[in-house]
């Protein structure tokens, strides 16, 4: 009989009542059932607590911070209570497809892997309604890909909701940088890759996320630029000198995005043109496909 290891699912919430029940229900609907939810209520003032604690079967474990803290501080707060062999994440306005955990646990049971990620579908807010957009991965279109550090830096497309981490043997390095507000996920996953952890991508869709308009705002883009530069400085010592150009590209592509979103194609091209030989054009067409779906 194949072992069914425990999966700890970390959910962080601050005033997330609108989509919270839908998110939690997508976990309860999983075909793989050996899991626990570590639910962190970051001092919500809406009905978050009532909704979360209505799941009284013991599989959802509710914890509340003493005060409202930053996102990645709240994630680290939740990590203290993890008991599973594996760690997954679900934000409270996103959902999982019902066989998400089964797909990933089946792979983990057969292959050595520290981080496993997949495709994701995206709901983009279009004025009054949500429109589903198919996520187009930039990794090679084989069913399974082992991703190098260069793969990640050139075409970083890991969405937190799709990730399953081998936690038991990596708990010492699985911690989020609390100085960050936007790029804490990518800092952790890049760091794991740079430390020679095995990162694998499966060409299957397991999750659905919502992309809010404010996430595409100029202010949001500026924050991503500042934080990505911080990540570059922090992690640069983990890469050999001949790979640093890829790390710089990872940061500069957010500058490119800022101009691209404003339809300032002249400056966008200027920022990124020096990286064409590193694989800029596939990234360009990926971004174009996302932004041109917004009316």
**228 in the same domain as 198:** no
Nearest in space to 208 (alpha carbons), one of 119, 103, 106, 86: 119
**282 in the same domain as 170:** no
Round to whole Å and give the CA distance between 55 and 90: 16
- CB atoms < 10 A from the CB of 31, how many? 11
Dihedral through CA 58, CA 170, CA 33, CA 96, nearest 10? 100
**207 in the same domain as 192:** yes
List, for residues 190-218, the tens digit of each pLDDT value: 999 999 999 999 988 999 988 765 555 55
Last residue of a domain, one of 215, 231, 256: 215
**249 in the same domain as 198:** no
**24 in the same domain as 118:** yes
**45 in the same domain as 159:** yes
Whether the predicted pLDDT of 46 surpasses 50: yes
What CATH number is attached to the domain comprising 160? 3.90.550.10
8 A C-beta contact, residue 103 and residue 145: no
Assigned domain for 109 exists: yes
**240 in the same domain as 203:** no
Q: Taking all residues of the chain, what is their mean pLDDT, rounded to a whole number?
A: 86
Assigned domain for 1 exists: no
8 A C-beta contact, residue 186 and residue 163: no
**196 in the same domain as 50:** yes
8 A C-beta contact, residue 65 and residue 42: yes
Domain that holds residue 121: 7-215
Alpha carbon 107 to chain centroid, angstroms? 19
Q: What pTM value is reported for the model?
A: 0.89
Nearest in space to 158 (alpha carbons), one of 123, 191, 124: 191
pLDDT tier, 220 (very low <50, low <70, confident <90, very high otherwise): confident
Rg (CA), the chain: 19
Assigned domain for 241 exists: yes
Alpha carbon 231 to chain centroid, angstroms? 16
**158 in the same domain as 18:** yes
pLDDT number for residue 279:
58
List, for residues 239-280, the tens digit of each pLDDT value: 999 999 889 988 888 888 788 778 888 888 888 777 776 655
For the residues 176-190, what does the mean pLDDT come to? 96
């Amino acid at each position: 009989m194949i072992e069914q290891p425990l999966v700890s699912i970390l959910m962080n919430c601050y005033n997330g009542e609108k989509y919270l029940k839908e998110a939690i229900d997508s976990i309860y609907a999983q075909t793989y059932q050996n899991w626990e939810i570590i639910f962190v209520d970051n001092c919500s003032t809406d009905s978050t607590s009532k909704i979360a604690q209505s799941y009284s079967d013991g599989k959802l474990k509710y914890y509340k911070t003493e005060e409202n803290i930053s996102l990645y501080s709240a994630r680290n707060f939740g990590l203290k209570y993890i008991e599973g062999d594996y760690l997954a994440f679900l934000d409270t306005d996103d959902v999982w497809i019902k066989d998400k955990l089964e797909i990933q646990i089946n792979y983990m049971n057969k292959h050595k892997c520290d981080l496993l990620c997949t495709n994701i579908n995206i709901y983009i807010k279009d004025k009054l309604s949500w429109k589903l957009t198919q996520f187009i991965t930039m990794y090679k279109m084989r069913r399974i890909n082992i991703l190098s550090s260069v793969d990640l830096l050139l075409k970083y497309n890991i969405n937190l909701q799709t990730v399953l981490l081998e936690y038991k043997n990596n708990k010492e390095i699985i911690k989020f940088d609390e100085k960050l507000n936007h790029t804490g996920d990518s800092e952790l996953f890049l760091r794991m890759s740079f430390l020679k952890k095995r990162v694998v991508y499966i060409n299957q869709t397991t999750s659905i996320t919502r992309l809010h308009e404010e996430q595409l705002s100029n202010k949001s883009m500026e924050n991503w630029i500042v934080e990505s530069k911080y990540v570059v400085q922090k992690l640069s010592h983990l890469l050999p000198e001949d790979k640093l150009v890829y790390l710089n590209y990872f940061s500069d592509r957010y500058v490119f995005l800022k101009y691209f979103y404003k339809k300032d194609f002249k400056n966008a091209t200027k920022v990124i043109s020096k990286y064409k030989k590193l694989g800029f054009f596939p990234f360009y067409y990926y971004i174009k496909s996302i932004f041109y779906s917004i009316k």
